[in-house]
Chain A
Amino acid sequence: GAVVSQHPSWVICKSGTSVKIECRSLDFQATTMFWYRQFPKQSLMLMATSNEGSKATYEQGVEKDKFLINHASLTLSTLTVTSAHPEDSSFYICSARDSVTVNTEAFFGQGTRLTVV
């Protein structure tokens, strides 16, 4: 079945540094990918929609300059948390749906646990 691979699965970084998270669709093309943030014991909050070859669409309240999204190919989107602070610590999950096949669900990466110290 379709797989979305997210890397790294966990990362610890110092305040002020930047962290890049990768999201790959392994066996399908995804012109659009989605980045979510999940706080402990809460639902997924959509942060932004990543569009291949164009700018990402950010949800209201999400800082574009802090959460940089790049979608350079049909199978790869990256989220870079810039100048990370402890409040950015969270669980980040990416998702993608097949751009070609209809009637498909959204596939999710395994998530990235970011801890900023």
Chain B
Amino acid sequence: AQSVTQPDIHITVSEGASLELRCNYSYGATPYLFWYVQSPGQGLQLLLKYFSGDTLVQGIKGFEAEFKRSQSSFNLRKPSVHWSDAAEYFCAVGPNQAGTALIFGKGTTLSVSS
């Protein structure tokens, strides 16, 4: 079955500390992987995506993620968290087909403490 698992429901990180959000996927075909961020009451904004090539991808707002095929993982990282990064983060997987919806993980809520 195709699925995305985000093991951490809620993470609290001190401002300025590093961050890693975990994402594992189960997908039968070549996975195309995404991380989205959602602020309260808002839609989803794409942070970064992986289609092929370099397995370390850079995104917006200083985020990066590394695709590890052997571990079926696509963890999101940021070296230094800012208070404005507090939000809900969703990992998603899908085919490279416009007519197919993405499969989302349950999300990880990030809180940033001062």
**Interface, chain A (partner B; CB < 8 A):** 4, 6, 30-32, 34, 41-44, 46, 49, 51, 91, 93, 95, 97-99, 102-111, 113
Contacts and interface: CB of A to CB of B under 8 A. Distances in A.
Interface of B: 32, 34, 36, 41-46, 49, 51, 88, 90, 92, 94, 96, 98-102, 104-107, 109
Contacts of A111: 41-43
Contacts of B44: 44, 93, 95, 108
A109 B100 CA distance: 17
A14 to B, nearest CB: 22
A31 B99 contact: yes
Given A108-B44, A113-B41, A98 B106 contact: no
Nearest to A45: B104
A95 B32 CA distance: 17
Given A43-B90, A103-B96, A109-B43, A95 B101 contact: yes
B106 A42 contact: yes
B98 A97 contact: yes
**Which of A30, A41, A113 has the largest number of chain B CB atoms within 10 A?**
A41
Contacts of A113: 41
B10 to A, nearest CB: 9
